Structure 1
Amino acid sequence: MDGLYGDSTRSVKAVGSDPVSGSPVVSPPVLASTFHLSPDEAEPSDKYGRYSNPTWRQLESALAELEGAATALTFGSGMAAITAVLRVLAKPGTKLVVPADGYNQVRSYAREYLAPLGVTVVEVACAAMCAAAADADVVLAETPVNPGLDVVDLHRLAMDCRRRGSTLVVDNTTATPLGQQPLSLGADLVVASATKSLSGHSDLIAGYVAGSHPELMAAVEQERLLAGPILGPFEAWLVLRSLGSAGLRFERQCHNAQALAVMLRTHPAVRSVRYPGLPDDPSHQIAALQMKRFGGLVAIELDSAQAVHSLVERSALLISSTSFGGIHTSLDRRARWSDPVADGFARISLGIEDTDDLISDFEQALS
């Protein structure tokens, strides 16, 4: 029945508690590190806070439902989720493909920690990901890729991985499960940062892994247990609390992104615009096939770094900050973080402000 619901309804239903008479509509957080053990030493559901927590389980159930997965596991950050999966899958002697144009810390982790252990790390641009999967053991794809917003053909990539017998992991942070569901397109695992659009208020850090292969998810859970990169129960509750409005927020962010991209693509101060929702964007055809919404990020290039700084200074609504997915519209000049982009390249994360106000503000700030 859930497939018939819209995203806001799905988001609200995912965080609902059992409708038992007298129980709270919204479950409170369980802030505990230790739990009572039974005298007969039978295994309780919860015994120690690094193993499990009732608030985790409720959040994990909601995330699995949104991703179309059998199970999900929460982590202390998106990077904690990604690195746990890579430690499970990328063993010495295996070949790992990571995005050359994706999130820079993933490449750094693969180079600095996995390669010295005997993992062959291959960095491949988004556009060449399918070709690189031909002889890989593990493929980590990010789509739309951050920050350039190219889109990977996930169905084709999944078929290539299946022929090879390799494992496909998809970073779904940018699109969110409200924009696309990689597992339905053939991915083996989804990893994501819940810091961004799902929690959406720029006030916490969290990540998760979702999948439907029991043995694979059990191995990731064991890695979390042993390494300990857990999410605190209060942060888990904050994510859960935010999920209920995620559909509403993401819908507005995507609407604002589409409107801004349309305006910017004809503005004389803007050299180029990337947004998968633009009909003439190089990634639009693939994105339209596999994405329900095109996301809340717009990538632009201005003449210089100073032009980017001037845009922020002249704007009344735009803030300068890294990360994305919050309720405020923000801008991040990615060259400052050593991304391989031009000095005037900026990633804009659209917030939930009124669309007309945002467009007017950008127009006056660019004039």
Structure 2
Amino acid sequence: MSTRNDDIIARMLHHRASTLDGGEPVPAPIAMASVYMLPGTIDVPHQYGRFSNPTWDALEESLSILEDAESVAFPSGMAAIASVFTAHLSAGDRVLLPSDGYWTTRAYAEKYIRPHGIEIDYCPTGEYGARDLSGFAMVYIETPSNPGLDICDIAEIAARAKSAGALVVVDNTTMTPLGQRPLDLGADIVLASDTKHVSGHSDVLSGHIASRNSALIGPIREWRKFFGAIPSPFDTWLVYRGLKTLDVRFDRMCATAETIANRLADHPKIAAIRFPGLETHPAHALARRQMTRFGSVLGLTFSDAATAERFIAESRFIVPATSFGGVHTSAERRARWGDQVAEGYVRLSIGCEPADALWSDFASVLNAL
């Protein structure tokens, strides 16, 4: 799998250059345009700024190589999620969502999807394998779950869901296509918040959807066009630029996360630790089969909220912020948002800092708690 990922990254990095003539810019330009020349015909690549944009094209072509599937860019991860629900659910349908996944997905579904006659059921990520999937139009998976980092078997669930006639959608935000490839495991649609690892610098909101089925991707692209949920050219360019270094950033972050997780696991001030790369994770064996990396997000449980907040506040190399996947290590106590986790639970997102410097900082704070 790593050899395949290496080939994908190399092809993605050289794709644009391979299409250029002499004198053309190697980086994709930012096309700040709402209108295009239409001299006597509309049969041209670009007609209007809400329909398409050359900078979107550059990003989507790169994402399509990365996903090995047609991709559509959105101005946020939630815009991507909304497009899947709106384009592929109708009155009378049932959708299964993870009860322990990203809270905003559930909130959106309850407020804007359920009122249209769509039934919403919930299941903890770790129990998807035992759930009867009969009667569902869509089975929505998030693995590892955010923020609890529980895992379910994508291939097994996708096979059963498809047998039951359901569309299988996977939120792959925490892993990226370099750490886990849901489409290879049988998913129909994969989506992600590219605000996190893909753009990687905590300076832009973005998302994308990918599918190898044109009948599924077409309505999503059309929804973006009519609804106007479109990314700005400049934001798109920022994501395009960030994508070029995803491989080296993600590799560094995942390697450091493994090092830090193993050291934290032995520290007496940590009441519990959740990380797919640790043998103590209940689904570690599945993680080894399903994921090519273990990710850069750790779940730490401290004895109480005050201790958790002290760890975050007193660490020199932790940015106290929501979201994850940036070059700076960040953390937050997730119970303050209402997530069903312990009051002392901290979602720790490892950045690109040198591992030993990061550990020295953590150890100093932990020893003083």
TM-score over 0.5 (shorter chain): yes
- Supply the AA of the counterpart residue of 2:63: L
Q: Name the CA shift for 1:263/1:7 in 2 (closer, same or farther; >3 Å).
A: farther
Alignment-derived partner of residue 221 in structure 1: 221
Worse-superposed segment, 254-263 or 5-14: 5-14
- Supply the AA of the counterpart residue of 1:118: G
Superposed CA offset, 1:63-97 (max 9, x none): 1111121x100111000000110011221101100
Residues 1-367 of structure 1: pairs in structure 2 closer than 5 A: 3=4, 5=6, 9=10, 12-13=13-14, 16=17, 18-39=19-40, 41-69=41-69, 71-130=70-129, 131-367=131-367
- Supply the AA of the counterpart residue of 2:320: S
**TM-score of the superposed pair, with normalisation by structure 1:** 0.96
Worse-superposed segment, 8-17 or 125-134: 8-17
What SS does the corresponding residue of 2:347 show, helix, strand or coil? Answer: strand
Aligned 8 A contact 1:191 1:208 in 2? yes
Structural RMSD (CA): 1.5
Deviation at 1:257, TM superposition (A): 0.9
- Supply the AA of the counterpart residue of 1:115: R
Worse-superposed segment, 221-230 or 2-11: 2-11
Worse-superposed segment, 119-128 or 130-139: 130-139
Aligned 8 A contact 1:97 1:132 in 2? no
> Structure 2 stretches of 5 or more lacking a match?
none
> Aligned equivalents of 2:195 and 2:301: distance in 1?
26
Aligned 8 A contact 1:11 1:243 in 2? no
Q: Name the CA shift for 1:215/1:337 in 2 (closer, same or farther; >3 Å).
A: same
> Aligned equivalents of 2:202 and 2:184: distance in 1?
29
Q: Name the CA shift for 1:16/1:276 in 2 (closer, same or farther; >3 Å).
A: farther
Aligned 8 A contact 1:15 1:243 in 2? no
> Aligned equivalents of 1:20 and 1:267: distance in 2?
57
Aligned 8 A contact 2:5 2:178 in 1? no
Deviation at 1:133, TM superposition (A): 2.4
Aligned 8 A contact 1:277 1:284 in 2? yes
Deviation at 1:319, TM superposition (A): 1.3
- Supply the AA of the counterpart residue of 2:56: W
Worse-superposed segment, 60-69 or 74-83: 60-69
> Structure 1 stretches of 5 or more lacking a match?
none
**TM-score of the superposed pair, with normalisation by structure 2:** 0.95
Superposed CA offset, 1:253-289 (max 9, x none): 1011111110111111111101101122112111111
Give runs of ≥4 in structure 1 deviating > 3 Å: 6-11, 13-17
- Supply the AA of the counterpart residue of 1:82: I
> Aligned equivalents of 2:366 and 2:13: distance in 1?
38
Deviation at 1:14, TM superposition (A): 5.3
- Supply the AA of the counterpart residue of 1:35: Y
> Aligned equivalents of 1:327 and 1:227: distance in 2?
33
What SS does the corresponding residue of 1:12 show, helix, strand or coil? Answer: helix
- Supply the AA of the counterpart residue of 2:169: V
What SS does the corresponding residue of 2:23 show, helix, strand or coil? Answer: coil
Deviation at 1:16, TM superposition (A): 4.7
Q: Percent identity of the aligned residues? A: 40
- Supply the AA of the counterpart residue of 1:63: L
What SS does the corresponding residue of 1:353 show, helix, strand or coil? Answer: coil
> Aligned equivalents of 1:328 and 1:296: distance in 2?
12
